[in-house]
A and B are shown apart, each in its own frame.
Chain A
């Protein structure tokens, strides 16, 4: 955690799930190879995924990682 506390990783996972045929959290979890709890934590911004996981989630939607995740820095 070398970054400023004001930095924040944002994501569009919830919206993309609904845009992709109302994909369930479990379906996305299965595709990304994680538990449903981790998807919930990512969607609610409580957990910042590792880079490989971010790529897997983006791949599950057929998008690039920058289309799913964003980075805000208010500092």
Chain B
């Protein structure tokens, strides 16, 4: 497993840990104190900040080639997929808000950061998962 695969696994673990904790907190607070207050549970989404520790946890081996043209092809594809998924998530989240609030209604301002965080999380999740899949089966197209 190379450095990029390790980073992808780390990303997926952090995201699952964050989402599990957030879902658990929102559910627990929602049951005990009611729903508007349950939004406080989304504060756990801040744990995604752990993703920023990647460069310190997975250091580059000095003197060894750790990124070549095949890594670039895989990386590009996974970034495009991650961006596409986050864009679709954002579009569907906006449509959902529209459907929920109707033409004259309003949505809670707390929903907006959740949509942005959600888009980022979806992007990272799909980017990392697709990267692992492509490394697993080997990208067939160095001739693109």
* A interface with B by C-beta (< 8 Å): 1, 3, 29-30, 33-35, 37-38, 41, 44, 46-50, 53
Contacts and interface: CB of A to CB of B under 8 A. Distances in A.
Interface stretch (B66-74, B94-102, B114-122): B66-74
Interface of B: 2, 65-71, 135, 137-144
Chain B contact residues: helix, strand, loop or mixed = loop
Contacts of B2: 35, 37
B140 A48 contact: yes
Given A1-B144, A35-B2, A37-B2, A46 B69 contact: no
B68 A46 contact: no
Contact of A1 (B66, B135, B138, B141): B141
Sort A-B residue pairs by CB-CB distance and give the 10 closest, nearest first: A46-B138, A34-B68, A41-B138, A38-B70, A48-B142, A49-B142, A48-B143, A50-B142, A35-B68, A38-B68
A24 to B, nearest CB: 14
B6 to A, nearest CB: 13
B65 A34 contact: yes
A3 B140 CA distance: 13
A69 B68 CA distance: 20
A72 to B, nearest CB: 14
A47 B141 CA distance: 6
A49 B142 CA distance: 5
27 contacts: A1-B144, A33-B68, A34-B68, A34-B69, A35-B65, A35-B66, A35-B68, A35-B70, A35-B71, A37-B70, A37-B135, A38-B68, A38-B69, A38-B71, A41-B70, A41-B139, A46-B139, A46-B140, A47-B70, A47-B138, A48-B140, A48-B141, A49-B69, A50-B69, A50-B142, A50-B143, A53-B69
